[in-house]
Amino acid sequence: MSLFYDARIRAFLYQTIAIGAVVFVAWMMFSTASANLAKQDIATGFGFLARQAGFVITETAIAYEPTDTFGRAILVGIANTVKVSALAVFFGTILGVLVGIGRLSHNPVLSRLMLAYVEALRNVPLLLYLLLWYSLIISVFPPVKQAIEMLPGVFLSNSGLVMPAMRWASGLEALVIALVVGTVAAVVVTRVLTRRRIATGKEMPVATIAAFAILLPLTLTLLSADISVSLDVPELGRFRLTGGYHVRPEFVALLIGLTLSASANVAEIVRAGIQAVSKGQWEAATALGLPRSRTLKLVILPQALRIIVPPLTNTYLTVFKNSSLAIAIGYPDLVMVSNTIMNQTGQAIEAIAIFMAVYLGLSILISLVMNWYNARVALRER
Amino acid sequence: MKKRILQLCATAAGIAVGLTAFTASAATTLETVKARGKLICGVSMSTPGFATADAKGHMQGFDVDVCRAVASAVFGDPEKVDFVLTNINTRFQALQSGEIDMLSRQTTHTFSREVSLGLDFGPTVFYDGQGLMVPKSLGVNSAKELTDAAICTLPGTTTAQNLSDFFRSIGGKFELVVFESPDENRNAFFSGRCEAISSDRSDLASIRAVANNPDDYVVLPETISKEPLAPSVRQNDSNWRDIVSWSVWMLMAAEERGITQANVDEMAKSQDPEIQRMLGVSEELGKMLNLDNKWGYNIVKGVGNYGEVFERNLGTKTALGLTRGPNTRWSEGGLLYAPPFR
């Protein structure tokens, strides 16, 4: 009995009971579900992933044919989800930082305008914006037959933007490897030289050396490897522009919607972060004679970043999860592909389990990366 | 702390008991429906001709009338039915989970659905096929000319897969644009995002009916798939399946025998033995289904015969303007053939 009064043992006991209860409930649900499914003769298991998918996915970030498997189709969905969320996070962050700084401008027109921007985007559900952007794109731009030719070979219509594409017959891999090698070399060289400059005070032409480090492997590859590439220029067929690279309106509408909503959230986080840096920092920098723009860049933003990063993680996770609204405007993301699979195989539980696991896994990955970055920019207390 | 854990355990036990109870419930669908006092029927979301609500919120349509026929058979009253609007992706789950008693929702009867989804299909109520609709201005006369075109569809096994198969068979490619909501799908087509829209021919008629100017659109002659639309019920409830199946066949047989909503009272006096059996005048067919013996009379009195249901919802005088096509009596070259009532 005295053991029970030991706080540590008691805590351990409680936690074991709690975990046990959770596991028990999960097991109950799982076994009841499988028993019920078996009783109703509903197929279960993940065997369907290896069967032929047989449906077309129009927008594919990785190669896919209808003869590929359901598993491959899910990968295409994941790639599409990652593509649109990554781009939205990238553009949303840049736009958001600019808007957030604009909010704090001394110019009343600019700051009010930015306020209006933020409020308009934050206070209306994203789904409505997606439908709005999509309807605008498909009703404002002309049909494909009257496509606007903006530059030779670049067409804009309500079926999206079509432009010439490079078709690599061979040599693409070699070039990519050369570029990666060159970039790594350039980063290493820059670091070494910077450290040397700090240690010895000797100036070296860092930029030139870095550029050389990138260009040298590329040039060598271009000269030595067998590279053949052709330009695929879109042509107006009977209905569509065929060939070239297509940026489809579904993708654009989703990207615009996610980017704008992310930028509004990022703007508020940036504004709050900047305002949280104490006024004394501004005054000290001004006293040292730094102009406002440099004060912001060198003194305020590095400190604000510590406050900004944790809520920013949240925003990025939201963007990633919101990308599932793609289904409303016909962009084939993970959820849409899973839905089609669900409909073809009837195995809803498995399909939903897969997309939940993928969202969970990728969300945790985003959190890990952001936590790592947060640890880097956090104040190092000595 | 202790209290919270006790609560947690209690909840867990509660859930466990609940789940076990759910597993153990074994009342037949008919018993459940009778105890509830009304039928719950899954139908489409706003599809003119098949299932739509009129200005007063009263559900109307071909699929709706199939539900009403079953409600009439069970309760003698076509209004004793609640409609659940089912999404294309969750329709089977709604049936499997017991949320609805039957699904009457433009659903194609296929092998894999019947075998792996825990369903039983009733008789085909509408012989359909997947078609393609294009604007007249496109100047296309055949689906085979549509290589490289963009085609809008709803997500669904048969639709997207048939298109893929069709274009693979003619060696062409196409751009598939899939929308979750029927409204977005229509809008994308009407605003020219897609050259063509593909769905079951009956559904195309329904889409055409809501266009600003229906005459601007034409359904291409090819039927690229067989789509026998049939109601479905949960597997392993033979009695309930019989009720749904024979209610549908009652609609067809009534048309064959010339029994209509208007003359059913008169026909009940007929000397024809099959009509007598159908309308419950002689023998006990209804009792054998665990229903009122007047079940057949109630169906025809409630919704009319197959022809009346068709003409009221889909026929040439409606906005959909469909002709009977294959959905006519076998004796007139159609595919409707009800087994004998004896």
What is the per-residue pLDDT across A210-263, written as a single tens digit (0 to 9) for each? 888 888 888 888 888 777 777 888 877 777 777 788 888 999 999 999 999 999
Work out how many domains chain B is built from and give that number. Answer: 2
Q: Is the dihedral of CA B139, B144, B149, B151 positive or negative?
A: positive
Q: Which A residues in the span 137-156 are in contact with B, Cβ-Cβ below 8 Å?
A: 138-139, 143-144
The answer for A 2-21 residues in CB contact with B (under 8 A) is 14, 17-18, 21
Q: What is the pLDDT of residue B19?
A: 44
Chain A residue nearest residue B110, CA to CA: A344
* Segment B207-223, tens digit of pLDDT: 998 888 888 999 998 88
Choice among A123-127, A326-330, B88-92, B334-338 with the minimum mean pLDDT: B88-92
Give the chain A residue nearest B88 (alpha carbons).
A343
Residues of B in contact with A330 (CB under 8 A): 152, 177-180, 184, 188
Q: Across the interface, which of B9, B156, B235 has its CB nearest the CB of A41?
A: B235
Q: What pLDDT score does B242 carry?
A: 96
* A70-164+233-377 CATH: 1.10.3720.10
Q: Is residue B2 over pLDDT 50?
A: no
Taking the C-alpha atoms of residue A338 and residue A205, their distance in angstroms, rounded to an integer, is 53
Mean pLDDT of chain B: 88
Instruction: Tell me the C-alpha distance between B137 and A240, whole Å.
Output: 15
Residue where one domain finishes, among candidates B173, B190, B225: B225
pLDDT score at A374: 87
Q: Under an 8 A CB cutoff, do B161 and A344 touch?
A: yes
Provide φ and ψ at B31, rounded to 5°: -60, -45
The residue among B107, B108, B178 with the most chain A CBs within 10 A of its CB, best to mutate, is B178
Out of A80-84, A90-94, A164-168, B55-59, least confident range: A164-168
Enclosing H/E stretch for B84: strand B81-85
Instruction: Using a pLDDT cut of 70, give the percent of chain B over it.
Output: 92
Across A57-66, A126-135, A348-357, the highest mean pLDDT is recorded for A126-135
> CB distance A238–B145 less than 8 Å?
yes
DSSP state of A143: P
Please tell me whether residues B117 and B175 are part of one structural domain. no
| Cross-chain residue pair A36–B23, CB shorter than 8 Å | yes
pLDDT at A106 > cutoff 80: yes
- If one compares A347 and A85, the residue with the highest pLDDT of the two is A85
Q: What percent of chain A has pLDDT over 90?
A: 40
pLDDT tens readout for residues B312-342: 999 989 888 888 989 999 999 999 999 999 8
pLDDT of B291 strictly over 70: yes
| Residues A283-325: tens digit of each pLDDT | 999 999 999 888 988 888 888 988 898 899 999 999 999 999 9
Whether residue B67 is contained in a domain is answered as yes
> A158–B193: do the CB atoms touch at under 8 Å?
yes
Residue B69 maps to a domain: yes
Q: Are residues B58 and B187 both part of a single domain? A: no
Three-state DSSP class for A140?
A: helix
Count of all residues that appear for chain B in the document: 342
Mean pLDDT across A327-340: 88
Residue A69 forms beta bridges with which residues?
A: A52
How far away is chain A from the Cα of B130, in angstroms, using its nearest Cα? 15
Does the pLDDT value for residue B152 go beyond 80?
yes
Where does the pLDDT of residue B15 fall: very low under 50, low under 70, confident under 90, or very high at 90 and above? very low
C-beta atoms surrounding A52 within 10 Å: 13
Domain annotation covers residue B21: no
Residues B41 and B159 in one domain: no
> What band does B245 get if pLDDT is binned at 50, 70 and 90?
very high
Q: Which of residues 110-139 of A touch B (CB under 8 A)?
A: 131, 134-135, 138-139
User: A-B interface: how many C-beta pairs under 8 angstroms?
Assistant: 142
* Window 293-352 of A, Cβ < 8 Å to B: 327-330, 332, 336, 339-340, 342-346, 348
The tokens for B39 are 């039928």
Residue A30 forms contact with B (CB below 8 Å): no
Whether the per-residue pLDDT at A154 is higher than 60: the answer is yes
Of B167, B190, B225, the residue that ends a domain is B225
We report the CATH number of the domain holding residue B143 as 3.40.190.10
- Stretch among A337-351, B165-179, B264-278 having the lowest mean pLDDT: A337-351
Query: Which residues of chain B are within 8 Å of residue A41 when distances are taken between CB atoms?
Result: 115-116, 118, 235-236
Residue B145 belongs to domain spanning: 130-225
Q: Among residues B196, B225, B254, which one ends one of the domains?
A: B225
* B5, B116, B174 ranked by CB distance to A42: nearest: B116
Q: How far is CA A26 from the centre of its chain?
A: 32
- Residues in chain B with CB shorter than 8 Å from the CB of A43 are 116-117
ipTM of the complex: 0.70
Query: Are B174 and A159 in contact (CB < 8 Å)?
Result: no
Query: How far A65 CA sits from the closest chain B CA (Å)?
Result: 10
Instruction: With respect to residue B174, please indicate whether it lies within any of the assigned structural domains.
Output: yes
Domain match, B243 and B316 both: yes
In a domain, B13, yes or no: no
> For the ranges A142-146, B3-7, B97-101, B241-245, which has the lowest average pLDDT?
B3-7
Tokens 């006519």 belong to residue: B328
Give A158→chain B minimum CA distance, Å: 6
B340 assigned to some structural domain: no
Say whether pLDDT at A81 is over 70.
yes
- The pLDDT of A49-59, averaged and rounded, is 84
Q: How far is B191 from chain A (nearest CA, A)?
A: 6
CB within 8 Å of B229: residues ≥ 6 apart: B106, B107, B108, B109, B124, B125, B126, B127, B128, B200, B202
Looking at the partner chain, which of A25, A58, A238 has a beta carbon nearest the beta carbon of B175? A58
Of B5, B117, B181, Cβ closest to residue A14: B5
Q: Is residue B63 part of a domain?
A: yes
pLDDT tens digit sequence for B16-33? 444 444 443 468 999 999
Residues B324 and B238 in one domain: yes
